[in-house]
Structure 1
Amino acid sequence: MSGNTLELAPRRTLAISLFCWFPLLALSLLEGSALHGRVAIPFLFDAEVYTRFLLAIPLLLEAELIVHQRMRLIVKQFLERNLVPEDQMLRFNSAIESVVRLRNSMLAEILLFVFVYVIGILVVWRHYIAIDTVTWYVRPTDDGARFSLAGMWLSYVSLPIFQFLLCRWYFRMFIWARFLWQVSRLELSLMPTHPDRVAGLGFLSDIAYAFVPLLLAHGALLAGVLGNRIYHLGAKLPDFMLEILLLVVFLECVALGPLLVFAPQLAQAKRMGLREYGTLAERYVREFDAKWLRCGTSSNDQLVGSSDIQSLADLGNSFEVVRTMRLVPFTKQTIIQLAVGTALPIAPLLLTMMPLEDLLKKLLGIVF
């Protein structure tokens, strides 16, 4: 359904989502557990099913295409900005080849499938995520959980596919982090006076925005889990503030953490820039002082409009750029935007705490 360029994304997304969700609907209708009456949580009223298979899976699949396209441009930027010296090109190309091998590794995907079935389903989902009550997919008994037909499809088909897509994303994030770490070990040609204030590495923050669909998928997944516990088990949204905060912090670390590997080189570039431009500024201002203040000029020389004044201002601007250099290639705005993207799918659950009208009034009061 797609090749190396991830074409036919809409068709792939629709097919996988429906393959995971539609059989659950059909089997729950066949067993009479789709509507209220026979189980505490019927299929059509299970928020987690919708967020997991109709929201999270499409977001995870669409994110593959977005990140794939954005990463190729990011990698090219290292070359287009002449950040990689000629004597480091062999190591840089080797890092790219290593990324391609890991990304296309069949063994890695087989191991991910094994991990999903052994750990993801039998341990994590059954013991920590599945709701301990009568639902459309399971009925707790004294001898253990008894799965319905829909529950069997959920356990052995739908959930493994979803968890595989999720784990594959974590694996690709590991590959990306490993690539950045390898590049950070090179002797990059950083320019401390670059206007982006990160010595020319400002383009790296662009990849963080490409991860927004991935963050939205995690937020939607958590929203479904919390929604079930609020609507069906009587829980309150404030009870889960710690979980929400931990998710936001975790995803911030996943998206931005790999960029921290450039902090040592940026710190070194800043120190060197301050030293070199400080020495240049010292020499220039002494010559300027000697010329204009210590009688080194003739009476015919004009101070206003002199190129010496403009050069002094330009030198001051360059030194200020070096002085305000950041040690990480992202800003506070990036952190805030990613946090909002993660929490956005959870925002509708605020309606469980207050009516929409009251919520809008509070928001308008904050804004205006």
Structure 2
Amino acid sequence: MPTYRRVEPPKTEPLISRAVLLLAIVALAVAAMFTMSGTVSRAVLALTRTVDGMIDSISATPSPRPTVAIVADAPLIQAPEEPYTADPSVDLVVIVPADAVGDARTKVRVYRTLPDERPKVVLDVPIGEVPELVVPVTLVDGHNPFSATLVGPGGESEPSPVVNWVLDRLVPKIKIYGPPPDEKINRQVATVTGKTQSRAALSAKNETNGESVAGRAKADGTFEILVPIVEGPNRIALTSTDPAGNKGETTLDVLGGEGKLTAELSVEPDELSMGDLPAELRLRVVVKDPDERPLENADVTFSIQVPGIPAVQAQTVTDAKGEAVYSATVPEGATVGGGLATVLIQSAEFGEVKGSAPVTIAE
């Protein structure tokens, strides 16, 4: 630690000593005269004492000025990447200021401040030759707010910012909201919803078909996870792993139905006369999911084939009503005969389905 150097004053003892010695001789002479006359005044005695004190002060050794002790800066505790743990002990990593490294007179003092309590000393640790100290501490259940100070010749530093660990050894609970156990699901996936511990990692395995998926609970603990299912009974095992590593488990049964994706294609008009060419054809498709609900944002590919001209094709997606429309012009050059309009529907969730409708070119 830094100190202040004492500056020596100029030496003036010889001149002062001579003056005091001369004064002392005069005082003794005066005292002798009064002694010879048989009287000693109080003034003479006081003068004698003053001279003696001056001589003593000159001969005394001056007291050294004290060294000023500087209070060290506060240390720093590294915050954990994940404060929640099921382990009853953790290692605190304490960073000490560079000027305190290797100082045998200084130590790190670790405090824990529990709710509604004053900070309590956990332990004191000597400082080594490196700036990082690994300090093992034992946790109590719940929150463990730690801080640290440096204690040395200059006193105790300000505390470091508080860093918190949470000892959590409770198994997370899982509450299932859906789907209802008696509901038949015609889709290829079951949407499992529920609530568990905040930020818990979720794993769902369909023990019937072996499919597994992962998810994570939101900050409020709610979750939604899509699990592939098959027709008939499905047993799904759900695991919730909280941030501390504790695991909770539950199962649910889901019944897969026989429903399929459907596409209904219509063509207007479905017959054109040669004398009407060129003429417009309008194709319209209505797509429903396995639960007979309109399917939005499904990929749609329309195709038209009529005799005498090349086939035409167009792509689009279904709207909120599950519908898609395509209009095409049949040019002159088409010949009499039967043609075909087709549609291909593709859904990442439900697979694909095809539809078709006849188109006739008459004389």
TM-score range, shorter chain: under 0.3
- Please state which structure has a larger fraction of its residues in helix: 1
- Please state which structure has a larger fraction of its residues in strand: 2
Relative contact order: is structure 1 or structure 2 higher (C-alpha 8 Å, sep ≥ 6)?
1
TM-score, with structure 2 as normaliser: 0.22
